[in-house]
Chain A
Amino acid sequence: MNVLTDNFSLYGEGLLGTVELTVLASLLALVAGVLMAAFRVAPVGSLRVFGTVWVMVLRNTPLTLLFFAVLLGLPRFGVVLPFKVFAVLALGCYTSAFICEAVRSGINTVPVGQGEAARSLGMTFSQTLGDVVLPQAFRTVIPPVGSTLIALAKNSAIAGSFSVVELLGTYKTLNELGYSIIWTFVWIAVGYLIVTLTISALFNVLEKRWGVPR
């Protein structure tokens, strides 16, 4: 028990780091994911190909490999940024592929009449997609996007091994300080449960407020 009380600030810092990573990477993933989903249904062929390749490659890349390549590889091109930014980039891009697939299957659940009606009103592709289809798709993709973001929060643990401050990384310091390693991990586990359960609760609220089963 005193592992937590003695090192409250350390744990707090770690938890804050995890939350920060999760939030920033989620924002990047959501923006990139929706953009890629739009690319994949666009009338322009090269954008469709780009979106497809993006999703196919990133979905099949081990996240550790992506971290390895981004965090240790980009600096060799003279791109020198804080590790946290690299971590957000890697996590966000990786997750965007899954968000893209969720959004695309959400687009498929919108009845075809909606798109046809929008077109018959003379709307362009971006109007049809942005004003008519995506808002309706958004309502059905709340649960899958929620579970994707929970996975993102769990994946952020990898960043700790690449010297980014986050929850799992706290074990090293505590281990050196000689605290009971079992209890250290118990409190780390509790920290992750807090983060994942919060996301899940948040998406339950969103689901209740806006969700439509289709």
Chain B
Amino acid sequence: MTATTALYDVPGPHSKRRHRLYGAAATVVILAVLAWVGYLLVDTGQFSSRKWTPFAYVGIQKLLLEGLGNTLKAFACAAVLSLVLGAVLAAGRLSDHAPVRWVSTLLVEFFRAMPVLVMIFFVYVALKAEPLYALITGLTLYNGSVLAEVFRAGVHSVDRGQREAAYALGMRKTQVMTYVLVPQAVRAMLPTIISQLVVALKDTSLGFLITYEEFLHAGKLIASNLDYDLPFIPVVMIVSPIYIGMCMLLSWCAYRVAKRQRKSLKTDAVDVNAPEPGTLLPGAQQQR
């Protein structure tokens, strides 16, 4: 497919000039805004050496790294536990026993409808748990329920013939699930699962609100230090690229996995796309 889009004609010399003009104007506006922000930063003395010296101290660096470590710890626990909870709830929702199905459905729907923060605060305030456990519990309940739906959708997305063939070979339901359906479902859903883990990673920052000593909390501690002239903006400038970078890395993994799946020879051989009208944007894939 050529890199053309149906939204506008291939520009001729006149339009090209016009687009370049618009492009230049837009760039100027964007740069002007950035320059203004930069001016404000300099004007309010955010780059003064007094505000940046703390980051040269080993103690402060250690504080930040410890915060980062705590963030990653909470993320790792929450990720593993929510995968487990997701598997359990998905198994419950796919169960042959109606009561199990109802209970799992109720749990999944309830926890998906609740804000994570309400759950975290509930565990923290009402059950008086440690901040770390409150954070992990909240994240696990929410992401576990979302992942349960993802797993369930994955199992349903596996071709019906696979299940039928497995039953025809005399496998029991558990075998059909574990040997046939789940491996294929996980493969199909891997990008979605990783995207959900990005959500979990982002939400670990909620620990900040219940005074869990994570990355943002460490930043807040430094930012409220009068000795260094309240280096709030420098802290934001250091903390946010690291946070955003971690999330982007994980998002990028999801993107790579999704791309690799689309290219996989195996899946290509199985379902050849039916001829269909293309999409409006270059390189875009029809949704699912």
Contact = CB atoms under 8 A, between A and B. Distances in A.
A63 B99 CA distance: 37
B277 interface: yes
A61 B118 contact: no
Interface in B229-283: 232-233, 236, 239-240, 243-244, 247-248, 251, 277-281
B284 interface: yes
A112 B232 contact: no
A177 to B, nearest CB: 14
Interface in A148-199: 154-158, 160-161, 168, 171, 175, 181-182, 184-185, 188-189, 192-193, 196-197
Contacts of B168: none
B233 A60 contact: no
Report which residue of B115, B203, B240 has the largest number of chain A beta carbons within 10 angstroms of its beta carbon: B115
B115 A192 contact: yes
The prevalent SS among residues of A at the interface is helix
A108 B284 contact: yes
Contacts of A110: 280
A34 interface: no
A48 to B, nearest CB: 9
B125 A77 contact: no
A45 B18 CA distance: 12
Interface stretch (A1-9, A64-72, A201-209): A64-72
Given A41-B281, A112-B277, A60 B251 contact: yes
Given A50-B26, A65-B239, A107-B280, 6 more contacts: A44-B19, A45-B23, A61-B244, A125-B7, A185-B118, A188-B118
B27 interface: yes
Contacts of B208: 64, 68
B243 A65 contact: yes
Nearest to A200: B113
A57 B23 contact: no
Contacts of B115: 154-157, 168, 192
Interface of A: 41, 43-47, 50, 56-57, 59-65, 68-69, 72-73, 76-78, 104-105, 107-116, 119, 124-125, 128-129, 133, 154-158, 160-161, 168, 171, 175, 181-182, 184-185, 188-189, 192-193, 196-197
B13 interface: no
B114 A192 contact: yes
B11 interface: yes
B278 A112 contact: yes
A168 B118 contact: yes
Interface of B: 5-9, 11, 15, 19, 22-24, 26-27, 30, 40, 44, 46, 113-118, 121-122, 125-126, 198, 201-206, 208-209, 216, 219-220, 223, 232-233, 236, 239-240, 243-244, 247-248, 251, 277-281, 284-287
Given A61-B244, A78-B44, A107-B281, A41 B5 contact: yes
Contacts of A78: 44
Contacts of B287: 105, 108-109
A76 B248 contact: no
Contact of A44 (B23, B46, B198, B280): B23
B286 A108 contact: yes
A62 B116 contact: no
Contacts of B5: 41, 115
Nearest to B276: A111
